[in-house]
Amino acid sequence: MVDTSYAMIFSTIQDMVYISIASLVLRIFVGALFIVHGLPKLAGQWRKPMRDGMSQLGIPGLLFDLVGLLELLGGLALVIGFLTRIAAALLALEMVGTTILYIAKLYKAPLPRGFAEPMFKATKGYMFGWELDTVLLASCIAIVLIGPGIFSIDIIVWTLVR
């Protein structure tokens, strides 16, 4: 049974279902992407080289570990829809930080004169590295605003608590 107070913010039950499906799709894809990027920061063969690279930029190892943990657990929270808005807000803050880091520290080359093919080839298809971060930032903001939808653990908890 759908809680009617939640349904009141939508014009119809059909709208609530469509928005919930959209939220579910967005949560699953964004959450999976964060899990895929967070797991290597915590374990695996790439952990040490990535951690060492970040320490050369002046980023403490503990902060690197916390970011990996946030990406892994926050991504998992998005996928299952648990504490969705909190997880999305924290991940959005992280994306603001990483975008600033890319622009301020990692990006040393001059801006290309348009989308020049040599620059595209030199970066293997990724121009400067902050494009993905800004899309993830926008996605997390959308999740915060839309909410978890009815296909989430949050709605079950919210309904039980009320």
13-42 vs 47-56: helix crossing angle, rounded to 10:
90
Question: Into how many domains does the chain fold?
Answer: 1
Q: What domain range is 28 assigned to? A: 4-161
- pLDDT band (50, 70, 90) for residue 78: very high
Instruction: Render pLDDT for 81-114 as a digit per residue (tens, 0 to 9).
Output: 999 999 999 999 999 998 887 777 655 544 444 4
* Upper half-sphere CA count for residue 53 (Cβ side, 13 Å): 8
Q: What b/e string do you get for 78-93 counting C-beta neighbours within 10 Å, with b at 16 or more?
A: bbbbbbbbebbbbbbe
Instruction: Render pLDDT for 21-73 as a digit per residue (tens, 0 to 9).
Output: 999 999 999 999 999 999 999 988 888 888 887 887 778 888 989 999 999 99
Q: Which amino acid is at 48?
A: K
CA 121 to chain centre: 27
For the full predicted model, state whether its pTM sits above 0.85: no
Q: Which amino acid is at 28?
A: I
Q: Which amino acid is at 47?
A: R
